[in-house]
Structure 1
């Protein structure tokens, strides 16, 4: 059995559809109480653990960095120590926000990290705590997560696009949407791969293809659903937010494909499925 931390998040809801997966909600294991997470692993003694839970309020984290650090940093560390004690692997979802977003080259797992804000710092702390614990691990950095569940860019655009004639959307942040369904599948494959070969432990990248901007992503959403709202490009500097977003979220996923056979999903195909799941047929 694979134990999953998280039940209501985008990736956790996709993981729940897999056989032999048990998802823990906050009542069963609260990430703000890291030791409860470790105890849940010790009590359950699963074959592997996937951490699909996190503090994801990027802007609010600027005022709540301590809370973000406990949930995104201390809790994964506690999970990893429990996994190390049991000799089982931990797959942990991380983020492109651990980088500063400079340049235009895709980030490799070996590139130097330099998070721009509290959220990125908290996620980097989680990565470091996992590696320090000595557990077999797969840290999976991803970007721009979307699905038919929860809150995400697709659902926001559908809502706003129907209410407005024109939207301004940032065009200088470049990355790739990644479906929660594809991330969940990647987590399962990584967990199984680590169970059979712990030497595959490490940091990996996984994102959709091809790269695009948020503005062009919005245009594609509207085109698919025949929403007539027009999109006007805007620069990040002209759309201030409490937390600074990375401009370059391109991820080099070649190691993930080489080690686990995971190819980057085409986000345009994933968008088709998500819109169908939402009942959006245009």
Structure 2
């Protein structure tokens, strides 16, 4: 198991051989168990059991998932083996354990041209009830820039910006000859002494963002990029409100004149639930609870 932890959010990556299992205490965190590859059974100490069909990989399908509350013990078992993410957030309230169906996940296309990307909003704030946790998946075709323009959510300004930490977990598709892929992640300080990162990222890497302007996430040509965003903060309101970097927000004005990348969507859940947003919820036009 690989763990990544910030004061308010956390991520664990479980790699299970066939027939193996992993048990962990949820403590004061709520968690979503999300298959990255393979299927699994999730069981709580109270005897609740969720069979997750999963998927072959993050580049092939939306997956179902299981929400488990704080103050219990959870066992993840995989008869055939696989990789699984546990996305967590420190929380106050104990919500019921439950299953999230793949065909209910809203899929959104954001941006246009070389800023086009696909967002699987499986645990966005208006998509699936949690106490504090916000989590989404983003798929970016090779050669495109994602998480762009750079934005931040590290200060609380009512109706304008949330205070949320964030963890990015990456997987990069191999090239057509099987060559391992790579990408890049940038974080710049939003305050003196703030977070600054310029990282080459490969499958299994994570970038922790306690503060700062984050983006772009750059997918190398020929290598589609996946990242899982895990977010939470100190306030009870479960909101995702962001501010664009003032030097780069102009890029949004170019999107209406460009087509969405024809490679998107890479896949869909239910087409009648899919949406397109040239002005994503990052933008002033789309601000609000997301």
TM-score (norm 1): 0.29
Query: Which of the two has greater strand per residue?
Result: 2
TM-score (norm 2): 0.29
Query: Which of the two has greater helix per residue?
Result: 1
